[in-house]
Structure 1
Amino acid sequence: MQASRSKTVIPIVAAPVTEKTISLYQKTPKVYPRSVSGYFKNWRWLMIWLTQIVFYGLPWLQYGERQAFLLDINAQRFYLFGMVIFPQDLFYLALLLIVCALGLFLFTAVAGRLWCGFSCPQSVYTEIFLWMERRIEGDRMVRQKLDAQPWGVRKAGIKLGKHSVWMGFAILTGLSFVGYFTPIRELSPALLQFQLSGWEWFWFGFYSIATYGNAGFLREQVCKHMCPYARFQSAMFDDHTLIVAYDSARGEPRGGRSKGQDYQAQGLGSCIDCNICVQVCPVGIDIRQGLQYECISCGLCIDACDEVMDKMQYPRGLIRFSAGGNTGEHGLLSHMLRPRVLIYSALFALIFGWMAYSMLHKPAFKVDIMRDRNIMYRETDKGVENLYQLHLLNATEKPQHYRIRASGMADISIESEQSLTVGATEEALLPLSLAVPHTDKTGSQRISIEVTAEPDGETVTTDTTFYLPK
C-alpha cells in the first residue's frame, strides 16, 4: 500500500496595485519633430528632391517606342535605356549588389550614417509625410495640443484631411513602384478601370500600405527596431569616422542664462539647455548623451544648435560633425587616407569599373553550342558527321540575320542551314550538322563555330568538340 500524501493548495491571488507598482512595459512616446532650417536641412531636401524625381520620373521616360527603364519579369527582359538584360546576365545584379554594399561601407567609414539621414527611403518618406503634417496641422506645439484635445468635428476634419493626403501620396508611390515592372503608360488607365492583374494589385496595395504605415505611423521605430543597419554600423566606425557629436568640454555644465550674460563667470558652459536639439531630432534622441545607435546623422540638431548659438552670439559648432566624436579635429588628409577607406575605395572603383566596362561592351548577341547527346558521331559516304544544337540570343531591339561558319579542321563543312534570322530580343535554336571527309585522325578534335551578324559584322566565336572514330 502506498502511503497517503497530504496535498497542500497554495492560493493564487492578484497582487494589490499600489503607488509603488512599476510597470515593466512603457508605451513609446510619440515624437513630434520641430521644424528647423539650415545647412543640413537644405542638403536633406536637395537629396529628397533628387531621389524622388528619379523614382517618380524614371518610369515615364521613353526610349524609342518603349519605356526606357522597365523590369519586364513576365518576358524575362530588363530594359535599361538602350540595353537589354537577359536572365543569362544576372551576374550584373550580383556585381551591382556588391558595389552597393561597398559604397555603403565606404560612406559609413568616412562619414557615418549619411545614407540613413539623407537618402534612405524610410527617412525620405518620413520627412515628406512630416512636411504634409506640418502644412495641415501646424508645427510641433500645435500638433501636440491637437492630439491632446478630445475628438470633435474640427479635429476629425483636420485628421481626415491629413490622412487623405497621405494616402493619395502613398497610392502614387505604389503606382510608380509597379510601373517599373509593367509599362506605366498602360498601368495608369488599367488602374482607373480596375483591370490590373493579381500580382499587380498585390504589389500596388502592399507598397502603398507600406509607405502609408511606415512613413505615417512607424517613422523612427523602423530606424530603431527594424533596420539592421543601425545594429552593425559600429563595426564600420573608428576614431576617424565623422559622426554628429556634442562638444561636452565646451558645453558643460549646462544652464539657462540671459543673452549677453557672462556665463563663464558663473561656471556655465555654452549649452543653454534649451532642448531644441532634442525637439528637432526625427528619432527623438538627445545627442548630448553621446553617440547612440538611433542617430541617423541627419545633422538637424547641428542646424538647431547653430541657430541658438547665433542668437546668443556664441561661436557655432557646439554640436558638429566630428571625427570619432573627439573634441580635437583630425586633418582631412589623415581622415581620408586610412587603410579601410583606401581598401573600400579601391574595391569599389575596381568592381564598378569592371561592371560598367562589361555592360558597355556587352555583345549584341550570344551563342551557345550544344552537342547531340544521343549520337556521338555517325559515318556516311562523305565522311564523319557530328550533330549539334546552336542556341542564338539576339540582344538587340531589331531583327538580325546571322551567318555561321565552322573552322579548326581541314575540309570541315556545314551540311545543314548556314544562316538564320532572329527577331528583336528573341532567341532561336538551329540544328547544326558538321562533317569532315575520312581522315587518319582519331578521337576528339577541337573546332570553332563562328557566328557573324549581318550587316553589322560583329562576330562571336565559340569552341566545341568534334568526335572521330577511334
Structure 2
Amino acid sequence: MEELYDEAEHWQLNTGEETIHAKRMKGKWRSYKWYANSFWLILFLGPYLRWGDRQAVLFDIPNRQFHIFGVTILPQDFWMLSLTLLFFAILLAVVTALAGRIWCGFFCFQTVWTDIYAWIEDKLEGAPQKRRKLDKAPWNVNKIRIKLTKHLLWLVIGFLTGISFVAWFVDAFQLWADLVSFTLGSTAIISIALFTVGTYVLAGFLREQTCFWLCPYARIQAVMIDNTTVVPTYDFHRGEPRGRVKKGVSEEERTTGDCVDCNQCIAVCPTGVDIRHGQQEGCIMCALCIDACDSVMKKLGRPTGLIRYESLDALNGKESRPLLKRPRVWVYSIIMTAALLGIGYGMSTLDALEIKVIHSRQPLFVLQSDGSIQNKYTLKILNKMTGDIPAKISISGIDGAILVDADLVTTARHGKVTPRTVFVRVPKKLLKQETTPIIFHVEGQLGEELLKAQRESIFIGPRY
C-alpha cells in the first residue's frame, strides 16, 4: 500500500492551468492512430453513398425507418438494434479488460478530432516550443493571421462534422441543397450549430480536460483494468536507476538503467502524463510514448521496448496463464457470440413483406344461409420496401375454403402497416374439427422483384 501511495504522489493531472502542446513524432503507433482516425473520417462519408434511388444508409426517424443498403429496419425489428448495442458494449468491456483504453487512445471521437486540431495547430504554429512562444508573444499582424487561420479551419471542421452527422438522418444531397438555398429546417440548423460549437470547444480548447471531467468512461475504466491487463507500461526493472548518457562511459561500464531521463515520453503525451510513474487517470493509452522511447533507444543502440504493451503481472514475472485460459475471456466471448448469432438470425429472416393475422373474436364464426361457416380476420401487411406494393392475398390449408373478394388487390404502403379485413368461408361438411389450421399468403411485386410472406392462423367452426 505504501508503494501505491508513493507512486500516486508522482501522478500528474493537468487541471487546465496550462495548455499542453504535445510533440508530434513519427512511429508505428502514430501510424496506427492515423489509421483509426481514418476509419471515422471515412465513416462520415457514408451518407453520400447511394443505393438505387435513395441514400445507402439513412436513419429516417420521422418515418421510423432505418435503411442500411438493401435492408430496411422498422420498429418491429428494433430488437436487433438491442443485440447490436449489447455486442458493442461487451466488445468495449472485453477490449478494456484485455488491452486497456484502446477506445480512448485510438477510436474515441474526442481523441480523433483533438488529434486533427492539434495537427493543424502544429502545421500553422510550429513545434511545441514555438507554439508556447507564440502564445506568450504580444498580439501583432503575424500572430493574428496565424491564430485566425487556425480558428477558421477549426470552425470549418466543426461545421462539416455537424453536417455529416445530420446527413445520417436526412438525404445528404437534399441537405446541402437546402443549406445553399437557405431553406434548411430549424431542427437541422440547431443540430449543425451544436455540433460545430461542441467540436470547436471540446477538441480545440478543452481537449484532455474533456476526458478528465466530462467523460464517465475515464472513471469506469479503473474497475475494468487489473494486473493482467496489457497496457503501455514502463519497464522499471530495466530502466532504473535513470541516468543521462555520459561521454567516455561504455555500455559495459555504466551503472544506470536504460532510461536516460530524456522526457520524450512526456513530450509526446497528449495529456502530459509521465508513464514512468505507473498507470494514471490521465493516460488514454494511445501508445505514443512507446514510439518516443523506441526512437531514443534506437539512437543509443539499446534494445527497444523499455516502454511497451505489457501487463503488470508479466512485468513482475507473475503472469503465466495464456490469454485463452482466462475465464473472463470465455465469458465475454460467449455473450458476444450469442449477440452476433441473434443479429445474424434476425438479418437472415428479415423479409421485405410481413403479415400478421388477427382472428375476430366477436363472433368467432358465422353460419351463412348456404350452410357454410364464415370467419373474419384482420390482416396487417408490413411493407419494408421504399415503394408501395400491390399485394394479393390468398389462403391454403383447408380444402374447399373460399376467400371472399380474392381478386381484390391491396396496396401495401411503403414503410407502414396496411390493414385489410378479409372473410373466409368453408362448407360445414368439410370441417372435421372445431379448429383447423389455415395459412394466409401475401404476394406482391416491386419492379422485377417478387416478394412473398405467409402466416398461419386457425379457422374456427362449431363443436362436433
Aligned equivalents of 1:207 and 1:448: distance in 2?
54
Task: Write the mapping of 1:296-375 to structure 2, written as runs, cut at 5 A.
Answer: 296-324=284-312, 326-327=314-315, 334-372=322-360, 375=363
Task: Write the mapping of 1:149-160 to structure 2, written as runs, cut at 5 A.
Answer: 149-160=137-148
Corresponding residue for 1:131? 119
Aligned equivalents of 2:95 and 2:74: distance in 1?
31
Q: Secondary structure at the match of 2:322?
A: helix
Task: Write the mapping of 1:32-71 to structure 2, written as runs, cut at 5 A.
Answer: 32-55=21-44, 57-71=45-59
Answer yes or no: is the 8 Å Cα contact 1:178–1:200 preserved in 2: yes
Aligned equivalents of 1:123 and 1:210: distance in 2?
14
Corresponding residue for 2:453? 460
1:281-327 C-alpha deviation (Å, 9 max, x unpaired): 11111111101132221110010111111222222111110023642
Aligned equivalents of 1:112 and 1:62: distance in 2?
38
* Bigger mean CA offset, 230-239 vs 105-114: 230-239
Corresponding residue for 2:220? 232
1:286 correspondence with 2:274: yes
Pick the aligned partner of 1:450 from 434, 440, 449. Answer: 440
Give the letter aligned to residue 286 of structure 1.
Answer: D
Corresponding residue for 1:84? 72
TM-superposed deviation, 1:334: 0.6
Q: Secondary structure at the match of 2:259?
A: coil
Answer yes or no: is the 8 Å Cα contact 2:16–2:209 preserved in 1: no
TM-superposed deviation, 1:365: 0.7
Pick the aligned partner of 1:388 from 377, 384, 406. Answer: 377
TM-superposed deviation, 1:467: 4.2
1:358-392 C-alpha deviation (Å, 9 max, x unpaired): 21341121111223465444333133323221111
Task: Write the mapping of 1:181-196 to structure 2, written as runs, cut at 5 A.
Answer: 181-196=169-184
Give the letter aligned to residue 420 of structure 1.
Answer: T
Corresponding residue for 1:115? 103
Give the letter aligned to residue 436 of structure 1.
Answer: V
Residues 158 and 373 of structure 1: is their aligned pair in 2 closer, same or farther, counting only changes over 3 Å?
farther
Residues 209 and 251 of structure 1: is their aligned pair in 2 closer, same or farther, counting only changes over 3 Å?
same
Task: Write the mapping of 1:16-27 to structure 2, written as runs, cut at 5 A.
Answer: none
Residues 193 and 215 of structure 1: is their aligned pair in 2 closer, same or farther, counting only changes over 3 Å?
same
Q: Secondary structure at the match of 2:315?
A: coil
Corresponding residue for 1:30? 19
Aligned equivalents of 1:338 and 1:303: distance in 2?
30
Aligned equivalents of 1:65 and 1:246: distance in 2?
55
Aligned equivalents of 1:374 and 1:151: distance in 2?
84
Corresponding residue for 1:420? 410
Give the letter aligned to residue 317 of structure 1.
Answer: G
Aligned equivalents of 2:282 and 2:383: distance in 1?
50
Give the letter aligned to residue 434 of structure 1.
Answer: V
TM-superposed deviation, 1:80: 0.7
Residues 27 and 108 of structure 1: is their aligned pair in 2 closer, same or farther, counting only changes over 3 Å?
closer
Residues 123 and 259 of structure 1: is their aligned pair in 2 closer, same or farther, counting only changes over 3 Å?
farther
Aligned equivalents of 1:400 and 1:187: distance in 2?
28
TM-score by length of 1: 0.86
Aligned equivalents of 1:207 and 1:446: distance in 2?
59
Residues 440 and 407 of structure 1: is their aligned pair in 2 closer, same or farther, counting only changes over 3 Å?
closer
Corresponding residue for 2:3? none
TM-superposed deviation, 1:255: 2.8
Answer yes or no: is the 8 Å Cα contact 2:242–2:256 preserved in 1: yes
1:409-464 C-alpha deviation (Å, 9 max, x unpaired): 55432224454343554542211112333469899625333214256666533233
Residues 128 and 26 of structure 1: is their aligned pair in 2 closer, same or farther, counting only changes over 3 Å?
closer
TM-score by length of 2: 0.87
Corresponding residue for 2:4? none
Aligned equivalents of 1:270 and 1:246: distance in 2?
11
* Bigger mean CA offset, 176-185 vs 342-351: 342-351
Corresponding residue for 1:22? none
Answer yes or no: is the 8 Å Cα contact 1:404–1:451 preserved in 2: yes
Pick the aligned partner of 1:433 from 412, 423, 431. Answer: 423
Give the letter aligned to residue 244 of structure 1.
Answer: P
Aligned equivalents of 2:221 and 2:384: distance in 1?
41
* Bigger mean CA offset, 65-74 vs 328-337: 328-337
Give the letter aligned to residue 396 of structure 1.
Answer: M
Residues 132 and 446 of structure 1: is their aligned pair in 2 closer, same or farther, counting only changes over 3 Å?
farther
Q: CA RMSD in A?
A: 2.8
Corresponding residue for 2:235? 247
Give the letter aligned to residue 428 of structure 1.
Answer: T
Point out which structure has higher relative CO (alpha carbons under 8 A, 6+ apart). 2
Aligned equivalents of 1:114 and 1:200: distance in 2?
33
Residues 190 and 399 of structure 1: is their aligned pair in 2 closer, same or farther, counting only changes over 3 Å?
closer
